[in-house]
Structure 1
Amino acid sequence: MRFGVLGSLTVWDSGGDQVPITETKVRAVLADLLAHHGRSVSAERLIEDLWGGRPPGRPLNTLQTKISQLRKALGAERVLRSPAGYRVRVEDDELDAVLFRRTVERADRTDDPGARGRLLAEALGLWRGPAFADFTDAVFVRAEAARLEELRVGAAERLAEARIETGEEDVAVAGLRELVEEHPLRERSHGLYMLALSRTGRQGEALRTFHELRVRLRDRLGIDPDPTVRDLYASILRQEPGATALPRVADRPRSNLPGPPTALIGRESESARVRAALSDPHADRLVTLTGPGGVGKTRLAIAVARSLTEDFPDGAWIVELAGMDRAATTADLAERVIATLGLCEGAADSAFELVEWLCGALRGRRCLVVLDNCEHVVSQVADLAGALLAADAGRLVVTTQEALDIPGETVFPLAPLTLPDSVGDPDEMVASSSAVRLFVERARAASPGFALTGENAPAVAAVCRRLDGVPLALELVAARLRAFTPEQIAAGLDDRFALPTGPGRGRPTRQQTLRSMIDWSWNLLTDGERTVLRRLAVSRDGCTLAGARAVCADGHDVLDVLSRLVDRSLVVREGERYRMLESVSAYCVEQLEGAGELEEVRRRFVAFHVREAERGDPLLRGSRQREALEWFDTETVNLRHALELAIRAGDADAALRLVNALTWYWRLRNRVAEARRSFEAALRLQGGSAHTRRVAEGRLAAFEGRPPREDGPVEAGALRLFWFAGSVPHDREAGRALVEEALARTGESGDRWVEAAALAERAGHRLDDGEVSASRADARRSAGIFLDLGDRWGLLRANAALARAAEADLDHRDVVALLEEDLRAAEGLGLWVDAIETLFRLGRIEASRGERSRARHLHERARRVAEERSYASGMVEADAWLYREDRVPAQDRGGRRTDASFSGGGPGPG
């Protein structure tokens, strides 16, 4: 059986005949389930999608009837039910949309332009009309249809480019002419059209195309063409032979993959195999790299992922899980992935929804996610990976000491490097042994004058054999060449490895090798170096110099010691942060326990992060907002670890102080689920000051959309204001009363930030009551205070109210410039929900001014950002506006707003 959505909804049986499904609602159920390819859709969602706000008398029974009819048409085994809802079982090769996407992916990985063009033509040949053509009015397929249409247009552009490369410019011109007519502001299509015209000797038409594009962009959007298109125009104008082609991929892939500090040595064959597995569209979508600690799993994963970034236009990411607690849940891991990828996590309100939401956010995306250091949470990773695989959510690489053992997994055991077969010619040893090659490279980095010679070759070979070719062990010992000769190191290893390995006994042989190597490095340290090194292990995600001093202290010159530890490759310096390799960190935790210091060092770690969070919290509301956000972003893993340690130790005072200090950061980053779980965990502890506890209770109420207790502390008005500053109160009158109360109290407290926030909220209330002038006055006062304070988020709030007032009476003076500045600020601060909503405000104002093309561009841009950040309500709002724009006659459009739910103060921070 085959299913078609690239055109009207069609089902074919194994013989190629159409399966008759004539009843409209039954077809709608199938369309809805296919739009959620592989995922369950709840009965409530299906009822809402099929009947909107007018369900039949017994909606569940009626839906069940439609499901039964669909099962009769497709077979009972095709339509499945689970506690999460209904889903349709469709293999990837049975749905034309998946076949289209995978064929395009194959084309993008093909270097030969002729073969690439044939694949793209094959993919585009699957289209029989607009996606879900017979459901164009249905909201439930609109997002999926828009995504598929964007993929179609991109594929058509790349097909034209392939034809230009193979000399078929005349054929390319015809297809590109249609594209530029359909998308008059799409720069890439115009650039390719110019290129094809110039290659066929029609330079005049190519230049005219550029001028027309530039005029449209300037008149409608107020922007100039992309530099790539401008450069192509200049090349054609100068009549340069063979005008330069545009890049094949318009948007650069996003990634957080670190640059390798040193070259990957000795892993050429493994890299090729892993790369081939990840590139093959028919291979398993999960690759697991296994092996003992120190064997180089992370280094290999990063190197391969970096080499494939062009294959994953939706991003290639590494998510570090070494800092996760062993008791972490699958939802905790999902939360870490969401935060790393920069998605709008606030859309999920419960632990169950967090995993489901992540799967939905990544479904169908061409992204690569590396889950690194998973051995201590392997079962939770297996659950998360299984859910992501079921949702067709990109490709995964997992590094761990044992396989996940789930369907769809390809396991690559990573062996140590190859050892020298014999001692002889130095060049032959380097060529034949990857262990020798790595040792020599790292030795030269540590001691620039080092060279492998006939004299030291036996010692180097002995070191490599003694260390079993384990890369981390080789790197640790090579760093010692500043102080020792190869012969001295070999002799020292002989002595060291002749001794019992202590806590290392019982481990696999190569794990004992690594432990013995770290033992050996440890014993070469001074007492002060050992103290600092073992105490650093309390940090889960590295630390700054200040953090190191806070936990190490005791009169040590921490900076000097850190420098020596970096020289010995036991600590890695990355900018201003110091990190430990996972194997070294695990070893040092044992040393910390053995020294009886573990609890004290943990206490220092918690105390430091509580102090720093409390210091950084007020900076989030002022001129140092960006700096404070960057600090909280960087320290997120350690802050979570500090909270875990405080809760585990039963330290209620530290836990409550920490969650209170993190409140505004969580709100700005829209991490509602994390905030709620953290407050609940802290409040379950006994103890802590009564005031701190009441503050935490009030802030948890804010995250849950409840009013604070009447007897709760006022916090100079900030707590009560926080309830509605970014939350949606259930009682509007109560919200208004809190605004007035906050304004009254600011006269006593002098808290200008609270005054400005309350004014911005009251401006929205007054506009709802039709008091446009009073609303504008409040908003301007709010903006003035926030401007004095340097709070960019606050300006977003105030200017949102000004924009609403401008929409109400069509007075747009200065508002557009303010909103454009807000947009730059929101993007700079990473407040993506605010950025999306600001684009909507700009779009509505431009529409009310009659600038329909610019309004469309702004809404389309908002939709792209919303899709990238998985902000569902933003996608829905953009789709609704664009749908109305396409359907409503021009004379009926006017400047009416289409988002009745938009509140005065704007949405919660993104």
Structure 2
Amino acid sequence: MRYGVLGPLAVWDAEGQPVRVPEAKVRALLANLLVHGGGPVPADRLIEDLWASSPPGGSTNTLQTKVSQLRRVLGREQVVREPAGYRLLLADDVVDATRFQELAVRARAHREPAVKADLFADALALWRGPAYADVAESLFARGEIARLEELRLAVVEDHAEVRLTLGEHTALAAELGTLVARHPLRERLRMAHMRALYRSGRQGDALQSFEELRRELAEELGASPGPEAAALHRAILRQEPQLATPAIGSRSCRTNLPAPLTPLIGRREAAAQVLARLDPRAPARLVTLTGLGGVGKTRLAIAAAGDAADRYTDGVWLVELAGLGAPSDPDDIAERVITTLGLCDTAATEPDLDDLVGWLCRAVADKQLLILLDNCEHLVESVALFTKSLLSAVPAAHLLLTSQEALDIPGEVVHPVPPLALPELTDPRTVARSSAVELFVQRAAAAVPGFALDADNAAAVSTVCRRLDGIPLALELVASRLRTLSPQELAARLDDRFARPDVRVRGLPDRQQTLRGMLDWSWQLLTPDERTVLRRLVVHADGCVMASAQAVCADGKLPAERVPDLLSRLVDRSLVVREGDRFRLLESVAAYCAERLAEAGEENAVRARFVRYCTESAERESERLRGPEQRCALDRLNAETVNLRRALDLAVAQGPAGYAVRLVNALGWYWFLRGRFPEARRSLRSALAADADAAPGARRAAGAWLAGVELRASPGDAAPLPVDEDPTAGVEDPVLRGRLQWFVGTGLTGRGHLDEGRALVEAALAGARAVRDRWGEAAALVELAGHGPAPEGAAELGAALFREVDDRWGQLRANRSLALAAEHRGDPVRTERLHREGLLMAEELGLWTEVVETLTLLGGAALADGLLERATELYERALSVSAERAYHRGEIRAEIGLGHAARLRGDRDAAASHLHRALAKSRSSGHATHAADALEELGLLTRA
């Protein structure tokens, strides 16, 4: 059973059908038990609550009668008698009030403003009226009603503030007026209304609202508005600029830039210069920061890009290219950008993914965004080709690059990044003005608490900074040596070291000689085991977690249990950077360690351990992708994406036999869930071509994965695989074979080969049942639900099995089938409930095309019910998500829905505007079928 208390008391069965609870006292009894949240309620307390001061004669027996009546409705096992009293058995998430609070918590924890707004909206949509409306006058319910109403108002305020950051001030100005009048003393609600009024051009109304607040507080409480409300009032009077645009969380501030761990030192002027060049109105749209390794190009670029974030309405995005191998082409770079922008599942809906650069350019053609491509020096030619294509096709896009050499293409503005400024004198006051000294002193104070620049050490500090040429990485490496050396001793050691001829490396410029010498000295100061761990870490392309460091660095001579301590020492020496639970090498340190790894003759062995660890880790996570750990497994695989690609490249090029095919088989389902079909197709092809010695069964499995991917990712007019063949034949594992039969069968069905696809899915169902694979059985049942004689029954069973294994993706698929069946049966209540549950699952898994499709289905249902405001809100949410994710089909459908709603409201201008936008988008993006829908709706508007 499911219970509704956010409105009149309601009960629904497992099918979503309303359950009638007869008689007022029985309903009051149920409400009382729900108020106590499944906890026991003594019989005498129930009697007092239900009959107040006039209990009936034989009240205990009368209560037992009411309990019996309730049990007949809910089921005898649902109402339990215990020594402490009666209680209602409540499973998780069966009471709408509990669901409401969970959604609010999830919304507040989410970082994406659009998702926060959607979650808050879903929480508020659960309210059907005042809480416990049937028993609002009963004393036992008043405390809970007040608590829930306070929670509701807090969520309304949260939702309003998030919507303000998303630019929805006009709608809020209208919506909040009634609510403010009902709750005139809530300052936070009033402030949201004032901001919405001001941003809507209604400054006078905003000031009048504040005066109403002042008067209400004085009359009711004898108080004045709080400092925040007063400050907002003053800001409105002064028309302060920050009021005009959202401060945080808006689309203009969408970014994945990391938060800086330390302040930017010595680059204030440089950061201002780069920021000026990143003005969207500037003629140059490509800025490249150049300089030697370790000079701080990335740090400067991130700082400047962060300062420019509010200038780009579609965000500022950091795309790390260090993990891409030298043979990478422009499509590889485009794939990395698509992944960073979160466009994977959007791209997966397209019929042809062969030209990723072209698709990306079309997807972001109307976006205003800044992309920071970091560490381009090993991909100069490919980056140049990618850059020219993107800037030509996307007029509002800007690119910021970091590289040791410029691209040397037309339109590029090169900004050299020199080392930090060196001190000229030894006077402490003069030395302190040097940015090199400022950085060294800050890092020294972090390594040796209490360290400060003074008259005694100023000369030595100045010598250190000059000897190291002001190179930030060199200064950071040497600062940790102050734990064991005084500044004077450190300066003497450096003078002695750099005076020796053996530290000079032929062919390197002077400043690179300095950094190389500093790295050499840092290396020589390490113990043999510390050197071993440091050089072996370089195999990781994108940092690593501790488990990976242990697996890769340990061998017969170095036990795994020693690695954590050694790694900690390397962090202390600034040779390894720790970020959360990950450890990584800076690019210059990584390049140095790669040389040391080759000198030690360990490359092959370390790479083999890395490939083995990545493969076995991916295989473990693959199993977790179909169950309760699905979300966490997706997150872990997301974090390891770059390392997994490096592992596959190594396995294909020179890895131990069988690992390339094993790795792609382990990643097949992950690629599907994330919509990464181009990566899947390329990886599967390369593994099968290179790993001929893999086990035959594993090769057949990889071939089946490839067949399913080709069916989904090839152009619509491309020849599919022979439909009379079963590509899973020869797969030895019966569980895997059944799942692959389902994967290929659903691909065939999607390409219109219904009979062949159904035959494979039916074989998958028989195989799953034979080996008791609950997941495989559920997937096959849900797929067959749309084609069998009893579709809803198959979908119900599939949904139950997916719930049994706790697979959220599977429950989402099952919910969609059940919702469509309920819609065909004419059950709008159940249809909406199932779609809403699916919407939450899709948001949780980051399946944005599913989110949009569900929102448009809900919008259509609201239109059919005449709920025009609700439909408009749903279509606007669909449009917002579609625009952010470059999902053109979703944008078109949302615009058509908004046009339909506006026509029914009688707003002809708005309807025409939405429909013409839909028509233009459908023509420019190639979705001709939707152009016909837009034209039909325009025809209705014209006739009206």
Q: TM-score, normalised by structure 1?
A: 0.71
- Quote the residue 2:700 is aligned against: 694
Residue of 759, 762, 777 corresponding to 1:737: 759
User: SS of the counterpart of 2:371?
Assistant: strand
Deviations 1:791-825 (A, max 9, x none): 11101100000111122122123332332232122
Question: What does 1:328-339 align with in structure 2 at a 5 Å threshold?
Answer: 328-339=328-339
Pick closer, same or farther for the CA change 1:679–1:781 going to 2, 3 Å: same
Pick closer, same or farther for the CA change 1:349–1:576 going to 2, 3 Å: farther
- Quote the residue 1:711 is aligned against: 729
Deviations 1:53-100 (A, max 9, x none): xxxxxxxxxxxxxxxxxxxxxxxxxxxxxxxxxxxxxxxxxxxxxxxx
- Quote the residue 2:819 is aligned against: 803
- Deviation, 1:247, is 5.6
- Quote the residue 1:599 is aligned against: 604
- Quote the residue 1:413 is aligned against: 416
Q: Name the stretch that deviates more: 305-314 or 497-506.
A: 497-506
CA distance in 2, matches of 1:262, 1:186: 38
- Quote the residue 2:322 is aligned against: 322
Unaligned runs of 5+ residues in structure 2 are: 1-164, 174-191, 215-224, 712-720, 912-921, 931-944
User: SS of the counterpart of 2:700?
Assistant: helix
Q: Is 2:276 the counterpart of 1:276?
A: yes
Q: Is 2:643 the counterpart of 1:638?
A: yes
CA distance in 2, matches of 1:235, 1:453: 47
Q: Is 2:870 the counterpart of 1:854?
A: yes
- Deviation, 1:363, is 2.1
Question: What does 1:624-663 align with in structure 2 at a 5 Å threshold?
Answer: 624-649=629-654, 651-663=656-668
CA distance in 2, matches of 1:736, 1:241: 65
- Quote the residue 1:249 is aligned against: 246
- Quote the residue 2:429 is aligned against: 427
Question: What does 1:381-396 align with in structure 2 at a 5 Å threshold?
Answer: 381-391=383-393, 392-396=395-399
Pick closer, same or farther for the CA change 1:154–1:889 going to 2, 3 Å: closer
- Quote the residue 1:821 is aligned against: 837
Pick closer, same or farther for the CA change 1:901–1:625 going to 2, 3 Å: farther
Contact 1:776 1:802 in 2 (8 A): yes
Q: Name the stretch that deviates more: 499-508 or 702-711.
A: 499-508
CA distance in 2, matches of 1:378, 1:501: 33
Q: Is 2:200 the counterpart of 1:198?
A: no
Unaligned runs of 5+ residues in structure 1 are: 1-152, 162-184, 208-230, 903-910
Question: What does 1:82-231 align with in structure 2 at a 5 Å threshold?
Answer: 192-193=199-200, 195-199=202-206, 201=208
Deviations 1:551-591 (A, max 9, x none): 11133411101111000000010110001100000100000
- Quote the residue 1:529 is aligned against: 530
Residue type matched to 1:427 in 2?
R
Residue type matched to 2:374 in 1?
D
Give the aligned CA root-mean-square deviation in angstroms: 3.3
- Deviation, 1:348, is 5.6
- Deviation, 1:848, is 3.0
CA distance in 1, matches of 2:525, 2:233: 68
- Quote the residue 1:746 is aligned against: 768
Residue of 875, 894, 899 corresponding to 1:878: 894
Larger Rg: 2
CA distance in 2, matches of 1:618, 1:503: 52
- Quote the residue 1:82 is aligned against: none
CA distance in 1, matches of 2:853, 2:422: 59
Residue type matched to 1:733 in 2?
D
Contact 1:501 1:512 in 2 (8 A): no
User: SS of the counterpart of 2:348?
Assistant: helix
- Quote the residue 1:374 is aligned against: 376
CA distance in 2, matches of 1:447, 1:478: 9
- Deviation, 1:851, is 2.1
- Quote the residue 2:846 is aligned against: 830
Question: What does 1:433-452 align with in structure 2 at a 5 Å threshold?
Answer: 433-452=434-453
CA distance in 2, matches of 1:756, 1:501: 68
- Deviation, 1:472, is 0.6
- Quote the residue 1:475 is aligned against: 476
CA distance in 1, matches of 2:504, 2:806: 55
CA distance in 2, matches of 1:804, 1:901: 22
Pick closer, same or farther for the CA change 1:302–1:239 going to 2, 3 Å: closer
User: SS of the counterpart of 2:759?
Assistant: helix
Contact 1:550 1:608 in 2 (8 A): yes
- Deviation, 1:652, is 4.8
User: SS of the counterpart of 1:765?
Assistant: coil
Residue type matched to 2:894 in 1?
A
Q: Is 2:879 the counterpart of 1:863?
A: yes
- Quote the residue 2:88 is aligned against: none
- Deviation, 1:156, is 12
Pick closer, same or farther for the CA change 1:901–1:788 going to 2, 3 Å: farther
Residue type matched to 2:744 in 1?
W
Q: Is 2:596 the counterpart of 1:574?
A: no
User: SS of the counterpart of 2:607?
Assistant: helix
Residue type matched to 1:407 in 2?
P
Contact 1:467 1:514 in 2 (8 A): yes
Contact 1:501 1:515 in 2 (8 A): no
Q: Is 2:610 the counterpart of 1:589?
A: no
CA distance in 2, matches of 1:239, 1:512: 60
- Deviation, 1:206, is 12
CA distance in 1, matches of 2:396, 2:677: 23
- Deviation, 1:242, is 5.4
Deviations 1:418-473 (A, max 9, x none): 1111212x122111x11111111111111112122222222111111111111110
Percent identity over paired residues: 49
CA distance in 1, matches of 2:233, 2:519: 65
User: SS of the counterpart of 2:422?
Assistant: coil
- Deviation, 1:859, is 2.3
- Quote the residue 1:42 is aligned against: none
CA distance in 1, matches of 2:322, 2:774: 42
Deviations 1:458-510 (A, max 9, x none): 21111111111111101110121112111221122123223345684212211
Residue type matched to 1:781 in 2?
L
